[in-house]
Amino acid sequence: MTESTLLQLALLIAPLALVGIQLTGRWQNLREVVSLVAATTLFAVVVSLYQPVLDGREIAAHWLDILPGLALAFRIEPLGLLFALVASFLWIVTTVYAIGYMRGHGEENQTRFFGLFALSIGAVMGIAFAENLFTLFIFYEVLTLCTYPLVTHAGTDKARQGGRVYLSVLIGTSVGFFLLAIVATWLLTGTLTFRAGGIFAADTDPALLSILLVLFVFGVGKAAIMPFHRWLPAAMVAPTPVSALLHAVAVVKAGVFVLLKVCLLIFGLETLKSIPATEWLLYLAGASILLASIVALRQQNLKKRLAYSTVSQLGYITLGALLATSAGMTGSALHIVMHAFGKITLFFCAGAILVAAHKTEIDELRGIGRQMPVTMTAFLVASLCIIGIPPTGGTWSKWYLMLGTFETQQWLLMGLLMLSSLLSIAYLLPIPLRAFLSGEGGEKPLVDGAGEASAIREAPLPSVIALTVTAVGCVCLLLFPDTFYQLIKSGI
């Protein structure tokens, strides 16, 4: 098979999986097999593209021209492949997890759930491999639309409320700012194709570029830069696998990935450095990091706290991209991977706790470590990964981000990153520590949150396997970051 065929295969597997899932909807086990096979195949396909991309081979597919100069076309570049690798691998793990979760939790409409899940991953592949902003924008919107029913999956009023915020913020920013920025870019340059070093002419008015950059940063609402972050906590009404894969990995990472790509391949690092707005946006990202951390501290709902933590961590990635240095970019790209593994594990744990113990609030979790040791150990490891201390992969990305601020002599931002790391210790670590250490003495063992008399046990086996895999992944990333590092280096 040629590489171009593989690329198209990667784009088509997920939509095909949707068809398969719909057709086999009546036989639960068969349906899950379809999901798993599709996920595994997709991952295999993406992996097979790794070496060619590293060798600098040109892999592209041109689908059709909508208008002269506006094409639906795809081309793989290293960052896109990185994103696709992470998303497709975690799709497998999440599918395993979701099987346990959805059955354990007795959710309805599971066929719709798995079908849309596959479609969302398809949209992610489109975003990852898009050759130009136009194609990227289309898949960006598709991703919003097909994750919306997943957010409102429960069908309750609360879910609908969350869905409304979700849709209005994401669609509003993308049509209001992102599309505007794309159109303006096209008008200025006559092209939307991603190109190393950027596409703007050297003599473009910096004021104009500033406006454009602001439009891009705010327009990509999925990157959840404050004040357009509200959709992310709102999306937490979704079933946990959705929060885990989509709102810790696929959707938010699509956002920061787009920003990374825009910074690197539309503006180019040199141009980016020279734009006055970059400085302001850096501080905005810094403020977003800090504020979100503080808000996270005050959240008592576990998933809400994790959501705000995500907002904060996304700020790191945006900040790294805006630093416009090779170290900052590397840090950002690495953090996409590290945060993905860390945060998905945390959400898996949150979901496992919900399924096994029916608990959602943080202060109910004291002492739960004794009944759910595997889950809470994974939680601890993943927390370390988010914070960025060994023995986890998060260390690398935070290291490069620090290096980036050091190189550009942004002392204030450097201090901010440190402060925020401290804050993340404060909002994450107490949860696993208390789960293991407190609650001894006279207190009786924890009872199930649903009021059943039975003792709490670990969540269903598939879920536990999944969260173990990702937690082990966090540790492995410390030891073997090279796979990703090579890819990033060839991309920047």
Partner 1 sequence: MLTHLPILQVILPLVAAPSCLIIRRASLVWLFTLAVSVAALAVSVLMLQQVYTAGPISYTLGGWQAPWGIEYRIDLLNAWVLLIVSGLSSVVLAAAHTSVAREVDSNRQTLFYTLYLLCLAGLLGIVATGDVFNVFVFLEISSLSTYALIALGRDRRALWAAFQYLIMGTIGATFILIGIGFLYMMTGTLNMADLAVRLPALGNSATVLAAFAFIFVGICLKLALFPLHQWLPNAYSYAPSIVTAFLAATATKVALYLLLRFTVTVFGVELSLASLPLESLLIGLGLVGVFAASAVAIYQVDIKRMFAYSSVAQIGYMVVGIGIGTATALQATLLHLFNHALMKGGLFLALAGLVYRVGACRIEHFRGLGGAMPWTMAAIVVGGISLIGVPLTVGFVSKWYLIAAAVDSGLWWVAVLVVLGSLLAVAYIWRLVEAAYFQPPADATRGEAPIGLLAPTWLLIGANLYFGIDTRLPVEVTAAAAQFLLGGAQ
Beta bridge partners of 282: none
Yes or no: say if 376 and 345 are a contact pair by the CB < 8 Å rule. Answer: no
- Output 65 or 361, the one with its CB closest to partner 1: 65
Nearer to partner 1, 15 or 100 (CB): 15
Q: Which residues pair with 70 in a beta bridge?
A: 67
- Contact residues toward partner 1 (CB under 8 A) are 64, 66-67, 70, 134, 137-138, 141, 160, 163-164, 168, 171-172, 175-176, 179-180, 183, 187
Question: CB 348 → partner 1: shortest distance, Å?
Answer: 30
Residue 71: which region, alpha, beta or left (left: phi > 0; alpha: psi -120 to 50)?
Answer: beta
Q: What is the CA radius of gyration of the chain?
A: 21
Which residue, 63 or 480, has its beta carbon nearer to partner 1?
63
Nearer to partner 1, 208 or 437 (CB): 208
Minimum CB–partner distance for residue 203 and partner 1 (Å): 17
Peptide bond connecting 430 to the previous residue in cis, omega within 30 degrees of 0? no
Cα 103 from Cα 78, distance rounded (Å):
37
- Minimal distance, residue 138 CB to partner 1, in Å: 6
What is the rounded CA–CA span in Å between residue 122 and residue 99?
A: 20
Q: Closer to partner 1 at the Cβ: 167 or 386? A: 167
Alpha-carbon distance of 261 to 196, in angstroms, equals: 10
Cβ 37 to partner 1 shortest distance, Å: 30
Minimum CB separation of residue 163 from partner 1 in Å reads: 7
Rounded to a whole number of angstroms, the minimum distance from the CB of residue 38 to partner 1 is: 25
**Which SS3 state, helix, strand or coil, does residue 197 take?**
coil
Distance in Å, CB of 182 to partner 1, minimum: 9
Categorise residue 19: left if φ over 0, alpha if ψ from -120 to 50, beta otherwise.
Answer: alpha
- Measured from the CB atom, is 214 or 290 closer to partner 1? 214
The phi, psi pair for 27, rounded to 5°, reads -105, 100
Shortest reach from residue 183's CB to partner 1, in Å:
6
The nearer residue to partner 1, 134 or 484, going by C-beta atoms, is 134
Least distance to partner 1, CB of residue 463, Å: 31
> Least CB distance from residue 179 to partner 1, whole Å?
8
Identify how many contiguous H helices and E strands the chain contains and give both numbers: 22, 2
Q: What is the DSSP string of 5-46?
A: HHHHHHHHHHHHHHHHHHHTTTSHHHHHHHHHHHHHHHHHHH
CA dihedral (444, 446, 449, 450) positive or negative? negative
Give the nearest distance from C-beta 186 to partner 1 in angstroms.
Answer: 8
CA–CA distance, 365 with 388 (Å, rounded to integer): 24
Do 185 and 266 meet the contact criterion of CB atoms below 8 Å apart?
Answer: yes
Size of the chain in residues: 492
Give ∠ CA 212-214-218 in degrees, rounded to 5: 120
Give the Cα separation of 95 and 39 in Å (integer): 8
Closer residue to partner 1, CB minimum distance, 93 or 182: 182
Q: Which is nearer to partner 1, 136 or 263 (CB)?
A: 136
Any idea which residue has 């082990």 for tokens?
472
**CA 201/CA 185 separation, integer angstroms:** 11
Complex with partner 1: residue 238 or 416, whichever CB lies closer: 238
Distance of CA 394 to the CA centre of its chain: 15
Please tell me the distance from the alpha carbon of residue 83 to that of residue 257, in angstroms, as a whole number.
8
Which of residues 137 and 194 has its CB atom nearest to partner 1 in the complex?
137
Look-up: residue for tokens 């949860």? Answer: 431
